[in-house]
Amino acid sequence: MRILLATAISLSAAIASVAQDAPIFPREGGQLDRLHLRFRWVPFPQLVGDYTLEIVEDDGSAAPFDSGLPVQEIYAGGGEPRAVVTEGLAFGLGYAWRVRGRVGPSGSGKESVIRRFSTLPLHPDVPSMNLIVPPGAEPVEPGVTLWSMKRAGASDGFVLGVDEQARLVLQLHVASSTVGDTRLLDDGLLLCNLQTPDPGAADLCRTAAVMTLDGLTTWASPNNWCGKALADVERIGIHHEVLEMPREAHGGATFLWLEYQSRWTSYGGEENLWWQSEVIKEVDRHTKQVLFQWSVMDHLSLDDHLPPDHPSWPGPGGDWTHANALAFDPLTDLILCSLRRQSRLIAIDRASGAVAWQMGEDSFPSGDVPAGFGDNLFSAQHSPQVLPGGNLLVYDNGNFIEPESAVRQSRAVEIAFDASATPPVAAIVWEYGLTLDDLVTPAYAPAVGDADRLPGGHTITNDGAEANIIEVDANGDPVWFLDAGPAWPTPDGTTPGAMIYRVERVPTIVVDTPGDVDDDGDRDLVDFLDLQASFTGFGPAVLEFPATLSDLDGDDDGDWVDVEELAYWMSGPAQVDVMMHPRERAPLVFCSGTGAGSACPCSNEASEGGCANSTGAGAVLLSSGTTSISADDLVVGVSAVPGGQPVLLFSGLNAVNGGVGVSFGDGLRCVGGDIKRLGVRIADGSGRAFWGPNLAGAGGWERGDVRRLQAWYRDPAGSPCGVGFNLSNGLEVRFVP
Question: What global pTM score does this model have?
Answer: 0.75
Q: With cut-offs at 50, 70 and 90, classify the pLDDT of residue 1.
A: very low
Task: Return the pLDDT at 229.
Answer: 55
Q: With cut-offs at 50, 70 and 90, classify the pLDDT of residue 9.
A: very low
Task: Return the pLDDT at 573.
Answer: 34
Task: Return the pLDDT at 271.
Answer: 86
Element (H, E) at 714: strand 706-714
Element (H, E) at 17: helix 12-20
Helices 525-533, 560-569: inter-axial angle, 10-degree rounding: 170
> Mean per-residue pLDDT for 12-34?
67
Q: What is the pLDDT of residues 129-166, one digit of tens each?
A: 999 999 999 999 999 999 999 888 888 899 999 999 99
Q: With cut-offs at 50, 70 and 90, classify the pLDDT of residue 495.
A: low
What type of residue sits at position 206?
R
Task: Return the pLDDT at 64.
Answer: 95
Q: What is the pLDDT of residues 679-721, one digit of tens each?
A: 999 999 989 999 988 888 888 887 767 889 999 999 999 999 9
% of residues, the chain, pLDDT over 70 = 90
CATH code, residues 24-139? 2.60.40.10
Query: Alpha-carbon distance 153 to 77, whole Å?
Result: 49
Q: With cut-offs at 50, 70 and 90, classify the pLDDT of residue 70.
A: very high
pLDDT, greater one: 266 or 224: 266
Q: Would you say residue 20 has pLDDT above 80?
A: no
Element (H, E) at 67: helix 64-67
What type of residue sits at position 254?
T
Nearest by Cα to 141 from 511, 434, 449, 507: 507
Q: Would you say residue 13 has pLDDT above 60?
A: no
* Mean per-residue pLDDT over the chain, rounded: 87
Nearest by Cα to 379 from 390, 392, 395, 358: 395
Handedness of CA 324, 372, 460, 219 (dihedral sign): negative
> Mean per-residue pLDDT for 530-550?
79
What φ, ψ does residue 220 adopt, rounded to 5°?
-140, 145
Task: Return the pLDDT at 580.
Answer: 29
Of 84-88, 284-288, 535-539, the least confident: 535-539
Cβ count within 10 A of residue 697: 8
pLDDT, greater one: 495 or 399: 399
Task: Return the pLDDT at 362.
Answer: 97
In the chain, CATH 2.60.40.10 sits at 24-139, 588-734
Task: Return the pLDDT at 79.
Answer: 78
Q: What is the pLDDT of residues 587-622, one digit of tens each?
A: 888 899 988 788 999 999 998 899 999 999 999 998
Handedness of CA 534, 539, 544, 546 (dihedral sign): positive
CA-CA distances (angstroms) from residue 666 to 2, 30, 593, 594, 603?
A: 37, 58, 10, 13, 10
Q: What is the pLDDT of residues 633-648, one digit of tens each?
A: 888 999 999 999 999 9
Query: Alpha-carbon distance 394 to 151, whole Å?
Result: 25
Q: Would you say residue 418 has pLDDT above 90?
A: yes
CATH code, residues 140-506? 2.130.10.10
Task: Return the pLDDT at 201.
Answer: 53
Domain 588-734 belongs to what topology? Immunoglobulin-like (2.60.40)
Element (H, E) at 295: strand 290-295
Task: Return the pLDDT at 560.
Answer: 81
Query: Alpha-carbon distance 254 to 185, whole Å?
Result: 12
Q: Would you say residue 84 has pLDDT above 90?
A: yes
CA-CA distances (angstroms) from residue 72 to 69, 120, 227, 297?
A: 10, 19, 51, 58
Handedness of CA 713, 719, 720, 725 (dihedral sign): positive
Q: Would you say residue 235 has pLDDT above 70?
A: no
Q: With cut-offs at 50, 70 and 90, classify the pLDDT of residue 414.
A: very high
Task: Return the pLDDT at 77.
Answer: 76
Query: Alpha-carbon distance 361 to 118, whole Å?
Result: 54
Q: What is the pLDDT of residues 340-393, one digit of tens each?
A: 999 999 999 999 999 999 999 999 999 999 999 999 999 999 999 999 999 999
